Amino acid sequence: MSDVVIIGAGMHPFGRIDKTYEEIGADAASAALRDAGIEWSQIQAAYLSRMYLPATSGARILRRLGSTDMSITDIEAACASGGAALRQGVLAIRSGEVDLVMVLGCEKMPRGFMDPSMIYSPWQIELGMSLNPAYWSMRAQRHIYEYGTTELQIAKVAYKNHKNSVHNPYAMYRKEFSLEEILNSPPVCDPIRRLEICAPDDGAAAVVIASAKRARELGASGKAINIAACCHTIARYSADFRCPADSMSATANNPGPTEVTGKQAYERAGLGPKDIDCFEVQDTDAFCEIEIYEALGLCPLGEGGKLIDEGKTDIGGDMPVNMSGGLISKGEPVGASHLGQVVEIVTQLRGQAGPRQVANAKVGLAHVLGAGGNCAVTIMQR
């Protein structure tokens, strides 16, 4: 039995939204409070996960819910910001100082490639080495070379995720594409194509978390979802080639951030990959999902392509991945993306996911990975 539980979850649909970030964030926070059946005034601390919003965005958003003097902190860890923020919430409750916490993820981003000055040095930008998909593509190219992974297998991941998104009212794109349409979409950075990458967008997602004791007192134990593990790490030396790296070692052999964070989370939860019923993972590009199958232990190294061929990660398969449609369909509002995954897993574990429901899902895992090798893994259990 875990000591910290999720008693409420809420989300604003991801997409290009004609509202301010304060409005989007407050909508998601209110939805999580309603779902938890509690009042804003009962919350004792709040964390906002965001990357592209201005200073003290957490306070600016949450003040809309009513006067408060509690600690509200913004947390940033690139694409893993949501995991880092949720971890802070869990640690705050474990410290014993508070027992009812809001963790909100919110982002509002311009269209197109992300602002490179947030991540890259001026010389990298001047040389044109400031396109995030280029880094994903070089890993894909090497995987193709080493393991015989095919462009068709990469396209199959995009096919699956676009197909799943049709049933997700929170996704930005809810359109199925044929394999042919995906393979005929123009390359962005070879071998990755337009219909195989995610786009930055706007969105928010929130959870209310509580100590197990407080959840019982509130009468919320029945629908509570246990946080079995919530881990955040950054890549060890040269363990991950991801923006804004300018070089990597050819001799160091450190395990990658997903492997390290996943192992930490599995150990803390006392579970292994075979015990997980459903996964939401970082699919900033379709290849990335294949790489993560391997790093999270869903299959041996080099066999991620085979896993998608066999349909094992479909909603009806042995180990469904990205039932929500993934970031490829939802877009990646960076600070909100992990909380969005957590809301999807909570929905799945409550059996409320409708046509995208994984039958009898009891344990779910959410994974994000991004700039600087920031990685977060949260395992939830009902």
Partner 1 sequence: MSTVTQNAARDPVAIRDGLLCGPLSQLAQVRLAGSKCTNCGETSLGTVKICPNCGRDSVQNIALGNRGVLWSFTIVRHRPPGNYKGPDPFVPFGMGLVELPEGLRVLSPIQCDIDKLKIGLALQFKPYVRHDDDRDVVAFGFEPTQG
Sole binder of partner 1 in the list 19, 22, 68, 134 (CB under 8 A): 134
185 binds partner 1 (CB under 8 A): no
- CB 245, min distance to partner 1, A: 7
Contact 225, 350 (CB under 8 A): yes
123 binds partner 1 (CB under 8 A): yes
Q: Smallest distance, Å, CB 221 to partner 1? A: 46
**What gap in Å lies between CA 47 and CA 71, rounded to an integer?**
8
Residue 249 within binding range of partner 1, rule CB under 8 A:
yes
- Nearest residue (CB) to partner 1, 298 versus 371: 371
Could you give the angle at which helices 334-349 and 81-94 cross, rounded to 10 degrees?
A: 60
Instruction: Establish if 150 lies at the interface with partner 1 (CB under 8 A).
Output: no
The token pair at 254 is 């450190």
CA atoms within 13 A on the CB side of 217: 9
Stretch that binds partner 1, among 69-77, 156-164, 239-247, 374-382 (CB under 8 A): 239-247
CA distances from 97 to 71, 89, 127, 209, 231 (A): 12, 11, 49, 14, 21
The Cα–Cα gap between 58 and 75 comes to 9
Residue 148 interacts with partner 1 (CB under 8 A)? no
Rounded to 10 degrees, what is the CA torsion of 94, 97, 99, 103? Answer: -80
In terms of CB distance, is 79 or 265 closer to partner 1? 79
96 binds partner 1 (CB under 8 A): no
Instruction: Give the residue carrying structure tokens 């604003």.
Output: 12
The stretch near partner 1 (CB under 8 A) out of 62-70, 136-144, 225-233, 372-380 is 136-144
CA–CA gap between residue 189 and residue 89 (Å, rounded):
38
**Minimal distance, residue 244 CB to partner 1, in Å:** 10
Contacts with partner 1 by CB under 8 A lie at 112-117, 120-123, 125-131, 134, 137-139, 141-142, 145, 186-192, 237-238, 241, 245-252
